[in-house]
Chains A and B, each alone.
Chain A
Amino acid sequence: MANATLSHVSQERRSRWLLLAPALIVLFLAASGPLIIVVIYSFLTAGDYGGIVWSFSSDGWFSVVLQRDFFSGELMLADAHLSIFWRSLKLSFLTALITFLIGFPTAYFIATRPKRQRDIWMLLIIIPFWTNLLIRTFAILELIRAEGTINLVLLWLGIIDEPIQMLFTEFAVLTGMAYVYLPLMVLPIYASLERLDFRLIEAGYDLYATRWQVLKRVIFPLAKPGVIAGSILVFVPSLGAYVTPRVLGGGKQLMLGNLIELQFGQGRNWPLGAALSLTLLAIVMIALFIYVRAVGTEERGHG
């Protein structure tokens, strides 16, 4: 009897794995497969015209942060790479911050509209998403370039005498990324604000909390899951952004994504590109770890 039950259980377990197999294979090939290839490539030698040569080399990883002086052969930090890392982190952080500062009030505004209106407002937020990223980026380009709309209007109003140089600056990249990723911040915050019981806000006012205190002590803590999700959704793709810094930053304001692309293209250094990709992955993971930890302890600190 016990034996029969046991064999029945193991049989059920086997069929369960069998049924899961297609999903597992797809997951393995689609997620782990490419990653493993990238890891392997990062430890190989670069081919002369791109591609790789199948012999082990740590040059790829070595070049991520270090470089050999062209003349003396002296080892030194790869300043160019480090400044690109720093710029990527800084711009991604600022993008998350700006989208939060704009996105939170936007989400709150939509969540407090009558139910019927909310869908229309959400549609307006989502519509830009239907357009190609490249086209949206060029729209920003059209706005901020020297002969662009903003400069023309300012000139016409007589506020400025000559066009402001906005294109190919960090400001341009930041503007572009904040615009492109804003919906990714608004959507999750809206989702948590929409579920918010507005009687809690009345309860806050009733218990002597001013508007600011209600926002800080009641609304914000309850919207926090949405804010966390939103900032991750904005921060992660910002770090690896490629199109926006390329179009709006020109050749001067490179970000990690552009640096990686450079290695696979003109640079003809696939192992370095692979190593940089993995470095980006590591940066994202460390940043998320620190972020989630910080948010978590803050919560415990209140309790």
Chain B
Amino acid sequence: MDFTALGGVSITVKDNEFFTLLGPSGCGKTTLLRVIAGFEYPTSGSVHLDGMDLLSLPPYRRPVNTVFQSYALFPHMTVAENIGFGLEMLNRPKKEVRKTVDEMLDLVRMTEMADRKTSEISGGQQQRVALARALAPRPKVLLLDEPLSALDYKLRKDMQLELKRLQAETGITFIFVTHDQEEALTMSDRIAVMNAGSVRQIGPPREIYDHPAERFVADFIGETNFVGAELLEIEGEGEGFARVRLSSGIEAHVQAPSGPVANGPVTLAIRPEHAWLVEEAQGLLKGKVENVVYFGTDTHFHVIVDGGDLFVLRHQNQPGQMQHLAVGDRVGLQIGRGAGQVLRD
């Protein structure tokens, strides 16, 4: 499956993959989904599915189903009628429709609710009916448009696992749209991070998190510290390391950028959990404690490193440790080898 859409960006989604489009609202991720579903037509470009040109087909001929953000369940039909609607429209025999509806009710654990009107069930249940309705015709691709955003926190956690289970059990390709980075990281096989109508980076969650290609990606996913440095040399391409001189004047080995970057001033992205506090003399970076915030399980130290960048560290609280540090103290920061990432921009 190969999609080309929005701002000349190309995305290829593999068979049986849980693929997530992640980005802030207005980044074009929902538009991309609507183009695939057929509710919107791009002025140029193409969408292919198994070699089939989707853009030449009206939405009701595409083997693609959508789980809508607002669920869009038919209010004049029962739960079972909603689930059977797609199959009925495909003119499947009545017997087969009934059998599939029963299977789907079982799959989303809604058998008892089969004859209820959709207005008589809770939000979480509506969500499951919407899923069952979209899965019942066995689409080649299931599109999910922020389906969990209307649920409360606990239900959302449950549904995340449920969605993963459904995807594994049905073997259908899922294209999932969300603005919630945590949701994307926990559920996806691969993530496409989008911003302002274009795709900024595509990769598995770990790669996106550990090796953000650019400032936007690093900032949008998880917490990140940005510090200035000077790029001296790139040792090996792509996966390789880069030698940089930090603001303290010390040279360090960090992750090379994903694209060509000229030697000179660059930005380093360092995750808070990849750095720890040491005596000033032993630190790769040196700075002054600006703030200490106590969180119970851990303490966050805000350090202004020399050069002016703010660096936030998380320190897991253990009895008798780090309690002597106070605002205004000089400290050193140690960074794990290869933990820092040189950004493209």
Contact = CB atoms under 8 A, between A and B. Distances in A.
Interface of A: 197, 199-200, 202-210, 213, 217-218, 221-222, 302-303
24 contacts: A199-B70, A202-B37, A202-B39, A202-B59, A202-B68, A203-B74, A204-B74, A205-B58, A206-B59, A206-B60, A206-B64, A207-B60, A207-B85, A207-B133, A207-B134, A208-B137, A209-B89, A210-B60, A217-B85, A217-B89, A221-B76, A222-B75, A222-B76, A302-B81
Given A207-B65, A210-B60, A303 B89 contact: no
Contacts of A208: 60-61, 86, 89-90, 137
B44 to A, nearest CB: 23
Given A202-B66, A208-B86, 13 more contacts: A199-B70, A202-B39, A202-B59, A203-B74, A205-B38, A206-B66, A207-B65, A207-B85, A208-B61, A208-B90, A208-B137, A209-B89, A221-B76
A302 B117 CA distance: 13
Given A206-B65, A209-B60, A218 B78 contact: no
B293 interface: no
B72 interface: yes
Interface string B37-64: 1110000000000000000001111001
Contacts of B75: 200, 222
B72 A197 contact: yes
A200 B85 CA distance: 12
A222 B72 CA distance: 13
Question: 3 tightest CB-CB pairs across the interface, nearest first?
Answer: A207-B86, A203-B72, A208-B89
B65 to A, nearest CB: 6
Contacts of A199: 68, 70, 72
Contacts of B58: 205
**Max chain A Cβ within 10 angstroms of own Cβ: one of B64, B66, B90, B133:** B66
Pick from B64, B70, B72 the residue with the most CB of A within 10 Å. Answer: B72
Contacts of B133: 207
A218 B74 contact: yes
Nearest to B69: A199
B137 A203 contact: no
Nearest to A303: B78
B220 to A, nearest CB: 28
A278 to B, nearest CB: 38
B59 to A, nearest CB: 4
A202 to B, nearest CB: 5
Contacts of B90: 208
Nearest to A210: B60
A217 B84 CA distance: 13
A213 B37 CA distance: 18
Nearest to A202: B39
Given A207-B133, A210-B60, A202 B72 contact: yes
A205 to B, nearest CB: 4
A200 B74 CA distance: 7
Contacts of A222: 75-76
A303 B81 CA distance: 8
Contact of B66 (A203, A210, A218, A302): A203
B146 to A, nearest CB: 13
Contacts of B38: 205-206
A200 to B, nearest CB: 5
B74 A206 contact: no
Contacts of B64: 206
A200 B60 contact: no
Given A209-B60, A303-B78, A203 B89 contact: no
Contacts of A197: 70, 72
Contacts of B59: 202, 205-206
A196 to B, nearest CB: 10
Nearest to A214: B60
A203 B68 contact: yes
A208 B78 CA distance: 19
Contacts of B37: 202, 206
Which of A197, A204, A206, A218: most chain B CB closer than 10 A? A206
A218 B89 CA distance: 12
B60 A205 contact: yes
Contacts of B74: 200, 203-204, 218
Contacts of B60: 205-210
Contacts of B81: 302
Nearest to A208: B89
B86 A200 contact: no
A30 to B, nearest CB: 38
A202 B66 CA distance: 9
Given A206-B65, A207-B65, A207-B133, A213 B76 contact: no
Nearest to B66: A206
Contacts of A303: 78
Contacts of A209: 60, 85, 89
A128 to B, nearest CB: 33
Among A205, A208, A210, A221, residue most surrounded by chain B Cβ atoms (within 10 Å): A208
A203 B134 CA distance: 9
A206 to B, nearest CB: 5
Contacts of B39: 202, 205-206
A203 B133 CA distance: 10
